[in-house]
Amino acid sequence: MMEKIPDIEEIRALVGAPLCEIWVKLCDAIDMKYEMECTWNSGGKAWTYEYKYRRGGKTLCALYARKDCIGFMVIFGKAEREKFEAVRAEFGTEIQRVYDEATTYHDGKWMMFMPQDTSMFPDFLKLLEIKRRPNRK
């Protein structure tokens, strides 16, 4: 947990206004479908900030911010990979490419997306639905 949680102005200064707008829209899209605990952390070596969506000790996804860049991370375990493989064709080529190129670790396949616009949001939300059914309408 971070001592000082960044406000939206700090995120905007870090990533730039266009990416900050995408960050806010992505958070809003997730918040509309899921009721989660959200935590801020340092982003480790590669990122300045991590904003993680969790519930019941399980992580749904995380957003990352660093200078002029945002990231959206989803980790699929074995069962989730099987579900994805079954409906793979329903996803856009960029989602499939990131899935194919993602490293599979002992705890799952780590998919990092670097959204430049909102075009992949429907696919992002479908990925999240593989992880967890939405609990908000």
The answer to the question of residue 136 being in a domain is no
Total domain count, the chain: 1
Asked if the structure places residue 80 within a domain, the reply is yes
How far is residue 45 CA from its own chain's centroid? 18
Would residue 23 count as lying in a domain?
yes
Within 8-136, where are the H helices? 8-15, 17-33, 78-87, 93-101, 121-131
Question: How far, CA to CA in Å, does 56 sit from each of 36, 53, 64, 105?
Answer: 9, 11, 21, 22
Residue 2 within any structural domain of the chain: no
Per-residue pLDDT in tens (0 to 9) along the chain, 137 residues? 667 899 999 999 999 999 999 999 999 999 999 999 999 999 999 999 999 999 999 999 999 999 999 999 999 999 999 999 999 999 999 999 999 999 999 989 999 999 999 999 999 999 999 999 998 66
Judged by DSSP in three states, 55 sits in strand
The range of the structural domain enclosing residue 98 comes to 8-131
Instruction: Kindly state the tokens that stand for 26.
Output: 């992505």
pTM of the predicted model as reported, rounded to 2 decimal places:
0.94
